[in-house]
Structure 1
């Protein structure tokens, strides 16, 4: 295979990805090759990844259960701590049942592959996550994509009782939210199933951090399938699918990445459980995050870059050209700020952007310093 030629093409186009050498991430700071940076690239929206309660829960569970689940869930991998976590998440979100996965990518792939057959149709927002898009392409179902948040286009595509509609709570590269009132109405009118990927809304939005549906006033039972991750606002890793007991029982038997994978390590499940309890009582942290978002948006209005329409912790600044985006990101890094430069194929061509993510752990001074650095970097390109 001509690997080098493919990589050379990507590098010439300014699109090659490099694995960064990170020594340590500690709250809103990270250390790389001995240098400390302010971190505006992670998804630790509430700053919980370093919470003492999560660290203690991990250590205690390791003493009680060991460090590995040692088998798949359907063999001997599903232990008491996993059951306790599933019950807690189901009660929190108001769904009948929940099952755990190692990652959101794995959960999305498993769901689509297990649920849809050749006779089904899958409708997806064009900006859905890569895990959803790829699973749709691999599925035998017919996949139709509708323009981002374009409910009129989706309504024209829908056929009654034909399959599954999927959209996101908060879109990971744009930071805006799905239109869940319209989505739930269209699903009900067409008698199709509806799924939310709320990886970036869970913990941050809604009452007790229940996510985008709660934020928008949509009852949990209006959406048939709930997917969320534990690696963003909850500060750990892993994911879940929630829904009816019948759905979860079906997936226990047909979701191949669940059936044939070793289960989450018990200490990880314990840390997630501790995070769930913290998030439900984290109104103060959510208020702090909203204050940082408002501060950044007000300051970014004066930058020579276009701030995209987002009210969430994901605040993208549109640059356009890939090379210019990388130049600004590199200049920010030289000034001590770690900001993600997002380029095709993750986003469409000519829409490269700085994906700035904010956390309750950031201070007012951190935001002000970033705004000053952004002004200088953007003016120099």
Structure 2
């Protein structure tokens, strides 16, 4: 079949560039130590930043949720799938992030991808008088949301406030939407949100913030990047993910009540999908209690200590550890083959770190994406540091010998 042959040729082309992705089957709960295809590994590749995915209180709440609400919701939210658990979670989320927003309401989604698609497309509403201004390093879901909005999209350079100011200043659109990640998932750095919000208020634009990697980890109370920067504005549309630091699943959009009602009425990813199982929403109420309480503060403090330990211990030659103060700690290597060789060498040592290649990151910037968790110990991170330093030295030596022909 010519159609299959074409697909096979495309896969071969990916393989030639060392861009084939492979899955590994995990046999144990998400955590610092996992069993993968019969082998125990120390994992530094999940987004379970606070170590809540297998927290006893959260898993007990999930079990309780199934007893209360069953396994599934049975329908979309606007038919019969909106349960009491969903309603309680949305009320709690609005309260949790409400200090940063005006007349706040929250809306729960099955995934962060769906929440981003919903927020952008509903705000744009297919209006030809809309322009979207998208950060160059935005997550794929934000990029796809802008594409699906079927309107003009302008991309501004990473963290370039002056460039965005110029784009907004020359725009004649009535409806302007600035879209950005808060914590960039492959670099670990923070967007200049205070400056971005000032621009949006100056030019009359929405600021849509995807806080997938900040919710739960940033801010004194863990309510995310807006709390971290002390921001408050009716121009803000906030998206938080609940399958990372919160440890369960789904996501939410929080904004002015009029914005949320617009999503309920217009957002196709919300209207035309079955609601997430109510038991997940019930478990998330416990996750939020942990994040906002003393235990959450202790976990964030411990995570900050691990980040400092990581930076203090690295001794790299040729590779570059990015200056992130978040749980995401990339080590840029450059070449695809060297990056995958490094990931494989760590795996052989019993340490699981993801190797990230284009198109997820720009060409020639392939990297190890180390993610730290409050579930890790200082001894775990010390073992990781030693292994990364060793692999760095080994690969550099191998490359030097290859160049010398020895």
TM value normalised by structure 1: 0.97
Match of 1:294 in 2: 308
- Alignment partner, residue 179 of structure 1: 192
Against the structure 1 CA distance between its residues 362 and 223, is the aligned structure 2 distance closer, same or farther, given a 3 Å change threshold? farther
Per-residue deviation at 1:224?
A: 2.1
The aligned residue for residue 23 of structure 2 is 19
Task: Report if the CA contact (8 A) 1:170-1:198 is conserved.
Answer: yes
Distance 1:167 1:26, change over 3 A: closer
Are 1:252 and 2:260 counterparts? no
Q: How far does the alpha carbon of each residue in 1:180-202 deviate from its partner, in whole angstroms, 9 at most, with x for none?
A: 11001000000111111001000
Report SS of the residue matched to 1:25. Answer: coil
SS of 1:227 mapped into structure 2: strand
Question: Unpaired runs of 5+ in structure 1?
Answer: none
Q: Give the secondary structure class of the aligned counterpart of 1:24.
A: coil
- Out of 135, 141, 164, which is 2:145 matched to? 135
Mean alpha-carbon deviation: is it higher for 106-115 or for 323-332? 106-115
- 2:50 aligns with 46
Displacement after TM superposition at 1:302 (Å): 4.6
Question: 1:297 aligns to what SS in structure 2?
Answer: helix
Shift in Å, 1:297: 1.0
Instruction: Determine the structure 1 residue equivalent to 2:112.
Output: 104
- Rg: which structure is higher? 2
Native 8 Å contact 1:15 1:343 kept in 2: yes
Segments of structure 2 that go 5 or more residues without pairing to the other structure are 396-406
Match of 1:378 in 2: 392
Q: Are residues 1:261 and 2:293 paired?
A: no
- What's the C-alpha RMSD, in Å, of the aligned pairs? 1.2
Q: Which residue of 2 aligns with 1:352?
A: 366
2:402 matched residue in structure 1: none
Partner residue, 2:162? 152
1:365 is aligned to 2:379: yes
Local SS of the residue matching 2:29: strand
Aligned residue pairs: how many? Answer: 380
Aligned residue for 2:401? Answer: none
Deviation at 1:118?
Answer: 2.2
Contact 1:37 1:338 in 2 (8 A): yes
- Does the 8 Å CA contact 1:314/1:355 hold for their aligned counterparts? yes
1:74-113 pair list within 5 angstroms: 74-94=78-98, 95=101, 96-113=104-121
String of CA shifts for 1:297-354, please: whole Å, max 9, x gaps: 1112555521112110000000000110000000000000000101000000000010
1: distance between equivalents of 2:89 and 2:274? 17
Instruction: Point out 4+ residue stretches in structure 1 off by more than 4 angstroms.
Output: 301-304
Question: Does the 8 Å contact 1:304/1:375 carry over to 2?
Answer: no
TM-score, normalising length from structure 2? Answer: 0.91
1:275-303 CA distances to partner (integer Å, 9 max, x unpaired)? 01110011111000000000001112555
Counterparts of 2:85 and 2:160, CA distance in 1: 42
What's the CA shift for 1:222? 5.3
Whole-angstrom distance in 2 between the partners of 1:120 and 1:144? 11
